[in-house]
Amino acid sequence: MVHQTPSSVPERIRKICRYIETHSEEPLTLGLLASMAVMSRYHFARSFKAVVGVTPKQYIAGIRFGELKRGLAEAKPVDAAVYDAGYGSASRVYEQAISRLGMTPAQYRRGGEGVAISYASLQTPVGLMLIGATDRGIAFAQFGDSEAELLAKLRAEYRNAAIEPMQTPPHPQFAQWVEAIARHVAGDQPHLDLPLDIRATAFQMRVWKYLQTIPYGDVQSYAEVARGIGSPTSARAVANACANNPVAVVIPCHRVIRGTGDLSGYRWGIERKRALIDRERAHAR
For the annotated catalytic residues, the residue numbers are: 253
Amino acid at site 13? I
Q: What's the rounded Cα separation, in Å, for the pair 92 and 270?
A: 44
Q: What's the rounded Cα separation, in Å, for the pair 174 and 168?
A: 12
DSSP 8-state symbol, 255: G
**Cis peptide before 169, with omega less than 30 degrees from 0?**
yes
Query: Minimal CA–CA distance to 10: which of 39, 42, 32?
Result: 39
Q: What's the rounded Cα separation, in Å, for the pair 139 and 268?
A: 17
Q: DSSP string of 146-183?
A: -HHHHHHHHHHHTTTSEEEEPPSSPPHHHHHHHHHHHH
Taking the CB of residue 240, how many other CB atoms lie within 10 A of it?
13
Query: Which pairing describes strands 137-144 and 162-165: parallel, antiparallel, or unpaired?
Result: unpaired
3-state percent helix, strand, coil for the chain, nearest multiple of 5: 50, 15, 40
